[in-house]
Structure 1
Amino acid sequence: MADITFYELPGCPFCAKVRTKLEDLDLEYDTVQVPAARNERTEVEAVSGQTGVPVIVDEAHGVEGMAESSDIVAYLEETYGAGA
């Protein structure tokens, strides 16, 4: 099991942005595909307090339920990128 869990919805352009960064950094991660219906997204709501995606959890660095694709990409670059 990877330290990073990535909650995404297939076809979501914001999720694709995060997935691309995870792959560019060659990071191992687990993916949880959330249901299309927001009222069925109980798992992502439990970890992040909201039903939107993308969301990541990074157990290695104590990140629980980070949302917003731009924030996630910046965090991944800062934490795992070339300057880390």
Structure 2
Amino acid sequence: MGLTLYRLEGCPHCEYVVDRLDELDLDFESIWVEGLHSKRDEVKRVSGQRDVPVLIDDERGITMSESERIVEHLDRSYVPA
């Protein structure tokens, strides 16, 4: 599948990750989640928690949350040397 980003509309942390994905010209699938934490069952199923953003990087076998960590991962893994 590649990269999948679980995100919430209007979430500044999610947009920070999206901006970096766009800057790196990376294709990704967005999965929009519910505003209420208690309704984010799919996020909990894939990541063990209900916060967003959550990135799934199938190519590297990584699932991670927290926007700063996600951007660091993208920079480490996808910025050309």
Q: Which TM-score band (shorter chain)? A: over 0.9
* 1:17-45 superposed Cα distances (whole Å, 9 cap, x missing partner): 00000000000100000000110000111
Q: 2-side partners of 1:25 and 1:3: how far apart?
A: 14
Unaligned runs of 5+ in 2: none
Asked if 1:17 is matched to 2:16, the reply is yes
Paired with 2:11 and 2:79, the residues of 1 have a C-alpha distance of 24
Aligned-residue offset at 1:82:
2.7
Match in the other structure for 2:29 = 30
The equivalent of 1:67 in structure 2 is 65
Runs of 4+ with >2 A deviation = none
Q: Distance between the aligned counterparts of 1:44 and 1:23, measured in 2?
A: 22
* TM-score after normalising by structure 2: 0.96
For 1:15, the aligned partner's letter is C
Question: Which 5+ residue runs of structure 1 have no aligned equivalent?
Answer: none
- The answer to whether the aligner puts 1:76 opposite 2:74 as a matched pair is yes
RMSD: 0.8
Question: How far apart are the structure 2 equivalents of 1:26 and 1:12?
Answer: 21
TM value normalised by structure 1: 0.93
Counterparts of 1:45 and 1:5 in 2: how far apart (Å)? Answer: 15
Q: Secondary structure at the match of 1:61?
A: coil
